[in-house]
Amino acid sequence: MKLRQKPDDFIVEELPNKEWKQSGSYAVYKVSKVGMTTFAAEKVLATHCGVKFNKIGFAGLKDTHARTVQYFSVDVQNPQVGVFQEKNVRSELVGFLDEQLRTGDLKGNRFVITVRNLSEKDVEVAKKNEQDVRAGVPNYFDSQRFGSLKGVEGFIAKDVLKGDFESAVKKIVTATTRHQKAKIRGVRKFILAHWGDWRACLELIEKNGLERTSEGTIMRYLAEKPQDFKGAFQRVFKGIRELFFSAYQSFVWNECVKKVVRETSSGVFSVPYEAGKLVFGRKWRTGELKTLPLLAADMRVPKEYDRIIKQILAQERMALVDFFTDEHMYVARERELVLVPNDFAVTFADDELHVGKKKACVSFWLGKGSYATIITKALFEQ
């Protein structure tokens, strides 16, 4: 099974929750792009419109390795300047709004995913699981939520919640992956080998022209205040720190849901993901399952899930009170336990990229905040 072998193998289109107007303060553009981040598309749009980034709004971030359609609002005097076509991005004017688009201004996203290199057994598995997937799968957070785990063992946020700021900072500046530039990887390995010699680390960073990186910012701070790891952690860009905290909260929620699935299914199978393994049920009894809140220090624990939450917290050697920190405000937001794909369809054909293999075209739409890759994991059991 192979995903994303071509940009057209993963197509995502936003489903806005607003209706465009004939006129308004903000022009709305439908931007189609391929192999480009949302921020890169925003930059191109800003250049064409001649505006700063704070004049542009969008509802969500979209994959780089995909063909995507999303909407941007722009505070611009002449709306036609935002209509253009370049090699990897096209923009068309679709209407107007009286307010700027903001994160979350979505009904959901529509997906068309091509899964390749399938054996006959893979096809049989998908056909067997199709009805279960239609009925609903666990609404897990998938690997995309856990990028901060790459190259490290354990969650940075958990270190912070336990008061171990040194461990958190160490993870941030020494994690290495094969996707990093060789220069960054070399500096991070040096920091790990010379942990505590902040001056030496800073000298190497400056020698490599990396003063403005997170490594440079943190090492410069520690060179002045060698034991203030809390202060060093706070030097990390706030948006990045928020990702650390949301990743750990999402992981704990996933672990609770795994327990629910095991207890309400006639059988289960597991699939690996960035933070461990996810559990899917066979003949999962979803009828009485509604929502489960993300854990927070001041949450009201639902009676029916009290035992499960306590088990997971004990497994993590945590308590609810540990989720209270000055570094982040955790909110006990309710999240649906069951993810039901809308307009779900699967078709199979010969795979032109892999002789003798099959491909599947899987199409559906999901509400915002859910992960399309959870559907493919449940369908193909991998």
Structure tokens of 314? Answer: 């004990």
- For residue 101, give the nearest of 34, 48, 33, 31 by alpha carbon: 31
Beta-ladder partners of 31: 70, 91
C-alpha to C-alpha distance for 319 and 5, rounded to whole angstroms: 43
State the catalytic residue, choosing from 63, 122, 132, 351.
63
- For residue 33, give the nearest of 78, 86, 75, 103 by alpha carbon: 86
Contact predicate 93/27, CB 8 Å: yes
Task: Round to the nearest angstrom and report the end-to-end CA distance of the chain.
Answer: 8
63 is a catalytic site residue: yes
Burial of 278 (0-12, 13-18, 19+ CB in 10 A): buried
C-alpha to C-alpha distance for 119 and 103, rounded to whole angstroms: 40
Q: What is the DSSP string of 342-362?
A: EEEEEEEEE-TTSTT-EEEEE
Contact predicate 39/33, CB 8 Å: no
Active-site amino acid positions: 63
